[in-house]
């Protein structure tokens, strides 16, 4: 079964790579639709998508008494129309897009699973609505459509609605779970022959970097109830004391990034960490290669080197795709260590990665002083 799953994953990876060619690409981020100051619940098969650099949403989004627009569909002719009290916009799949004065437009509608999807920005411009796509905020990503009834700015809305949207997102994920059905009382368990039990994959998540992307990663961890370790340089702690305090308050571990000058870097970073969050940490991530000498220094000082520069850092130097994070989970190993640099590239796929782990029941393990380190698990000292 593991081998079959591995082959399937490889096939999916190839498909994803092909789909991300310049000819066409689709984002795997889940976007909320927000009308004025109200987020709409996420629903299966009707989630907005980004395709070829254009944001599309289901036609039903514009069936709104708030916006005063209404859709009509003709599936036989593959025509969809959005109309208001003054004018309309008509899309024909494979044909023209025209308005009530027969003016033609270059933008088109697309069909997904027999549902019409329309380009949101262009429709908003036509009907005079405000349009914005917000990703970099405390709330999950959302598309906001506004008219004169909106009262909050995008930033103020994101802050006010973050908790509500995270709750809606959890409900959406829970909708994928099958409904429980009554089952008869199972017979007493029988011994399982050795070697037939599939090992549980334990996932260890470490995050690097400090900034707005780090805050978004923290929000995702809170949403799913997972624990990770955030590694910072002394300068990052000095410049982001509030973020460090928040990470500590939410129960995550914090480690220090050190160079070959291990003891000097640790002393500086440890002092700043205590000033910022009143905590001590003995977890170290080396930004250089591990050596016996550094290992001895760490042991004598009571420090634990979790990883060195040999660990693969996802999202730091190049674009990151969802399959790159899910692929390590498909291997035969019982353990997966994922070091993620908090960048725009990594955050664009991180929500999809957490949803993948949630659906497939992967176990995220906390990184702390008693956990086996990445170096130990790979046979280093």
Q: What is the pLDDT along the chain (381 residues), one digit of tens a residue?
A: 444 444 444 444 434 333 333 334 444 578 899 999 999 888 776 688 888 889 999 999 998 888 999 898 888 889 999 988 888 999 999 889 999 889 999 999 998 878 899 999 999 999 999 999 998 777 788 999 999 999 999 999 988 888 888 888 877 777 655 545 454 545 555 444 444 344 578 999 999 999 888 988 988 888 888 999 999 999 999 999 999 999 998 889 999 999 999 999 999 999 999 999 999 999 999 999 999 999 999 999 999 999 999 999 999 887 888 888 888 887 767 899 999 999 988 888 888 898 888 888 888 999 999 999 999 998 886
- Which residues, other chains included, contact 199 with Cβ-Cβ below 8 Å and sequence gap of 6+? 334
- Which residues, other chains included, contact 277 with Cβ-Cβ below 8 Å and sequence gap of 6+? 241, 244, 245, 247, 248, 249, 254
- CA–CA distance from 316 to each of 94, 255, 305, 313 (Å)? 40, 18, 21, 6
Q: Kindly list the domain boundaries of the chain, sorted by start residue.
A: 30-160, 202-377
- CA–CA distance from 363 to each of 162, 166, 205, 297 (Å)? 26, 21, 11, 33
Residue with tokens 């429709």: 123
Q: Please, where are the H alpha helices in 278-337? A: 292-301, 322-326
Beta bridge partners of 54: 51
Average pLDDT, the chain: 83
Superfamily, domain 202-377: Glycoside hydrolase/deacetylase (3.20.20.370)
pLDDT tens digits along 12-67 = 443 433 333 333 444 457 889 999 999 988 877 668 888 888 999 999 999 888 89
In this structure, the strands spanning 32-35 and 38-39 are: antiparallel
Q: Specify whether the CB–CB gap between 205 and 335 falls below 8 A.
A: no
pLDDT for res 21 = 33
pLDDT for res 373 = 95
Q: Specify whether the CB–CB gap between 286 and 264 falls below 8 A.
A: no
Q: How far apart are CA 251 and CA 228, in angstroms?
A: 9
């Amino acid at each position: 079964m593991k081998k079959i799953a591995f082959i399937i994953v490889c096939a999916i990876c190839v498909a994803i790579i092909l789909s991300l060619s310049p000819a066409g690409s689709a984002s795997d981020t889940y976007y909320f639709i927000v009308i004025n100051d109200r987020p709409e619940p996420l629903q299966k098969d009707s989630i907005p998508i980004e395709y070829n650099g254009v944001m599309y949403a289901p036609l039903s989004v514009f069936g709104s008494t708030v916006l005063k627009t209404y859709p009509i569909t003709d599936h036989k002719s593959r025509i969809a129309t959005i109309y208001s009290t003054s004018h309309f916009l008509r899309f024909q799949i494979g044909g023209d897009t025209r308005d009530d004065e027969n003016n033609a437009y270059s933008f088109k509608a697309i069909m997904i699973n027999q549902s019409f999807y329309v380009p949101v920005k262009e429709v908003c411009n036509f009907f005079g609505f405000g349009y914005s796509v917000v990703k970099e905020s405390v709330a999950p990503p959302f598309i906001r459509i506004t008219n004169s009834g909106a009262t909050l700015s995008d930033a103020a809305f994101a802050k006010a609605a973050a908790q509500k949207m995270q709750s809606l997102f959890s409900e959406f994920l829970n909708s994928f779970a099958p409904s429980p059905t009554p089952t008869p009382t199972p017979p007493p368990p029988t011994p399982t022959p050795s070697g037939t039990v599939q090992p549980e994959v334990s996932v260890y998540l470490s995050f690097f970097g400090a900034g707005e992307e780090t805050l978004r990663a923290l929000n995702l961890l809170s949403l799913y109830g997972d624990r990770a370790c955030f590694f910072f340089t002394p300068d990052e702690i000095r410049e982001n004391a509030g973020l460090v305090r928040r990470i500590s308050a939410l129960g995550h571990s914090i480690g220090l990034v050190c160079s070959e000058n291990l003891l000097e870097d640790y002393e500086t970073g440890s002092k700043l960490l205590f000033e910022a969050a009143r905590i001590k940490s003995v977890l170290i991530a080396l930004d250089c290669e591990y050596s016996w000498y550094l290992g001895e220094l760490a042991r004598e000082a009571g420090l634990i080197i979790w990883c060195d520069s040999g660990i693969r850092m996802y999202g730091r130097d190049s674009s990151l795709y969802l399959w790159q994070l899910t692929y390590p989970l498909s291997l035969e190993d019982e353990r997966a260590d994922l070091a993620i640099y908090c960048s725009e590239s990594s955050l664009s796929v991180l929500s999809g990665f957490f949803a993948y782990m949630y659906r497939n029941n992967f176990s995220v393990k906390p990184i702390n002083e008693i956990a086996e380190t990445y170096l130990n698990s790979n046979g280093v000292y």
